Amino acid sequence: MEITGIGMSTTVLSNANTNSAIGIALLDKALDADQMNGDAMTKMLERSVNPMVGQNIDIRL
């Protein structure tokens, strides 16, 4: 193998590692956003089941 071939393969591997790191970082951000959206959706659904519970107190004697 020539020295230029070794240098070229090192560059290619470095670019592949950089691309992988960028892809993983983007996926991590997307997963965090999905988690927050899921939490918000869960809270909205919980409120929609009984929206009036706890808002009024009926006291009759």
Where do the structural domains in the chain lie, given as residue ranges? Answer: 23-47
Residue 20: predicted pLDDT: 93
Residue 27: predicted pLDDT: 96
- Residues 51, 39: Cα–Cα separation, whole Å: 18
- Residues 19, 50: Cα–Cα separation, whole Å: 48
pLDDT digits (tens, 9 = 90+) for 17-39: 999 999 999 999 999 999 999 99
Nearest to 40 by CA among 48, 28, 51, 52: 48
Q: What is the pTM of this model?
A: 0.57
User: Which of the pair, 37 or 51, is modelled with greater confidence?
Assistant: 37
